Structure 1
Amino acid sequence: MLQFLKNYYRNHSVKLLISLLFFLMALFTFAAITNEVLFEKEEQIDLMIFEFFKAHIIRPGRTGFMYTITQFSSAPFVKIAYPFLMLALLTGRFYRRALFTVAAGGGGLMLIYITKLFFARPRPLHPLLYREESFSFPSGHATFSFIFYGMLAYFIWLTELPKIWKYVFMTFLVILSLAIGFSRIYLRVHYPSDVLGGFSLGYFWLFLMIYTFRRWFPLA
């Protein structure tokens, strides 16, 4: 592995190397969660985090805000946001970016569906506001938010905006994605491990799509 990374470093940029390291970390994290939580049935940390939220974070005045945040990766939002993004890209004649959007988004949704069915983890008991009917692992909201907002961040990076504004917008999108994952734990519709697994899966898929398109179908 060390020799591979040295050879990779000689032929690629530092940014791509860092992305690869995060990619490997995402795979390791996802594998560790599936082993400890789903196969070994170790849920103590999840339950401890729920207790911490109940004692120190959950407050009536915050619940409405958390519900609003979670909607930014909900099915109704996706049904509006994706067609709008596709229309904007096609209107601007960014055809490869539109193709990337279909591959990353459509493939991501399929990946979420398959993994949920495979692991079939029940939802947490006693949700704060409402009960979700689908399986719990991985968090679809966390996975898809990382894919969708990460994709938007990548598109912003490809623009001609000054770097300072690129960093501002990209930071906002990352924070929004993390906030969506946080809201799923707050609302107790997902275990914390579901959210962390979702972020890991989302990063894995987004990196794979970006690497594939950079290599064979450059977007810029």
Structure 2
Amino acid sequence: MNRFTARIVALLGLLTVEVIVGGVVLFGAFALFFYMARVVFVHHSLALDQWAWSIVDGWRQAAPWLIKPVRFVTFFAALPFLLPASLIAPALLYRAGQRREAWELVLAMAGGIILNQLLKMYFQRPRPADALLQTLGLSFPSGHSMLGVTFYGCLAWLLARHYRHPGWAVPLLLWAGLIGLTRVYLHVHYATDVLAGFAGGAAWLLLLRAGMHLFWKEEKQILDAVAK
């Protein structure tokens, strides 16, 4: 087997189901984010946002009591909750001997917060004028949606991949999706903000996972070489 053929075989060996699915999701996340940005900032269309608001406004009129549960749910992706959670959860993981997983969660949240703020400053989209909850800052992409996907998506991955509890992945991701929906319900974000936030959070998490995988793999190879 010549060198070229051996390299092709090695590359094909890297194409596991995990890598293929991750690549497809990453491509889809980037595509969704840039499509939302194009809809908002190139075409200046509010059709999707108005359609989404018409639906959630109908829910609010039919069940006015939902406002309190919605505010309760939306809190679980707010910084007053996520900042302590992003320190406590990694500390518990580190104490349990899960050093890699602890660093992964810390980096995911720190990078997610920074990236979200950079994107907001770049796009400079004001928030909706008729918000039902006083909220500061810019609108695109939604921080609650982006950081919710980052935090709960990372937890879902850790539980499914490292702790063999894949059943928790779906509820955690649905919870992140529900939080995004509350942002539209409360008129603190446009639906396009929320979809872009989901896409941005998923893309960041997948890129971080790829980087962490390469880092730990290279570190292991160095340690093995030193040991020999």
**Same fold by TM-score greater than 0.5:** yes
Shift of 1:10: 5.7
CA contact (8 A) 2:131 2:188 kept: yes
Structure 2 residue matching 1:50: 3-state secondary structure: helix
Cross-structure match for 1:196: 195
Which ranges in structure 2 are unaligned for 5 or more consecutive residues?
Answer: 1-9, 218-228
Q: Secondary structure at the match of 1:124?
A: coil
Partner of 2:4: none
- What amino acid maps onto 1:174 in structure 2? L
CA distance in 1, matches of 2:129, 2:52: 14
Q: Given residue 83 of structure 2, which amino acid in structure 1 is its aligned partner? A: K
Residues 126-205 of structure 1: pairs in structure 2 closer than 5 A? 126-128=130-132, 130-161=133-164, 166-205=165-204
2-side partners of 1:81 and 1:160: how far apart?
Answer: 19
- Relative to the length of structure 2, the TM-score reads 0.85
Partner residue of 1:45?
Answer: 48
Deviation for aligned residue 1:157? 1.8
| Corresponding residue of 2:68 | 64
CA distance, structure 2, for counterparts of residue 71 and residue 125 of structure 1: 21
**What's the Cα RMSD here?**
2.0
Could you say if the C-alpha distance between residues 91 and 18 of structure 1 is closer, same or farther in structure 2, counting changes exceeding 3 Å?
Answer: same
The reply on whether 1:101 has 2:69 as its aligned counterpart is no
After TM superposition, give the deviation of residue 60 of structure 1 in Å: 1.4
Q: Using the TM superposition, give the Cα deviation of residue 179 of structure 1 relative to its aligned residue in structure 2, in angstroms.
A: 0.6
Asked whether the equivalents of residues 147 and 203 of structure 1 are also in contact (C-alpha less than 8 Å), the reply is: yes
* Partners of 1:8 and 1:17 within 8 A in 2: no
Q: Distance in 1 between matches of 2:14 and 2:91?
A: 37
CA contact (8 A) 2:123 2:140 kept: yes
The structure having more radius of gyration, on CA atoms, is 2
1:205 partner amino acid: W
- Measured in 2, the distance between the counterparts of 1:8 and 1:123 equals 46
Letter aligned with residue 96 of structure 1: R
1:168 & 1:103 partners in 2: Cα distance?
A: 25
Give, in whole Å, the separation in 1 of the partners of 2:87 and 2:215: 25
Q: What is the identity, as a one-letter code, of the residue corresponding to 1:204?
A: A
**C-alpha spacing 1:158/1:49, structure 2 compared with 1 (3 Å):** closer
User: Which residue type is aligned with residue 145 of structure 1?
Assistant: G
Q: 1:9 to 1:27 in 2, by over 3 A?
A: farther
**Alignment-mate amino acid for residue 82 of structure 1:** S
**Equivalent position amino acid for 2:142 in 1:** S
Code of the aligned partner of 2:182: S
Could you report, residue by residue, the CA deviation over 1:75-113 in whole angstroms, capped at 9, with x for unpaired residues? 110122111112102211222222212221111110001
